[in-house]
Amino acid sequence: MEKTFLMVKPDGVQRQLIGEVVSRFERKGFQLVGAKLMSIPRELAEQHYGEHKERPFFGELVDFITSGPVFAMVWQGENVISTARGMMGSTNPKDAAPGTIRGDFGLTVGKNVIHGSDSPESAEREISLFFNEEEVVAYDKLI
The answer to whether 60 contacts ligand CMP (rule: CB under 6 A) is yes
CB of 140 to ligand CMP, least distance (A): 31
Nearest to 8 by CA among 31, 40, 46, 53: 40
On whether the CB atoms of residues 139 and 77 are closer than 8 A, the answer is no
Give the interface segment with ligand CMP, choosing from 29-37, 55-63, 71-79, 132-140 (CB under 6 A): 55-63
Nearest to 50 by CA among 136, 122, 114: 122
Closer residue to ligand CMP (CB): 41 or 137: 41
Q: Give dist(CA 101, CA 19) in Å, integer.
A: 12
Catalytic status, residue 52:
no
140 φ, ψ (degrees, to nearest 5): -85, 145
CB of 79 to ligand CMP, least distance (A): 18
Catalytic residue among 115, 116, 117, 127: 115
Q: Which residues, 102 to 141, sit near ligand CMP by CB under 6 A?
A: 109-110, 112, 115
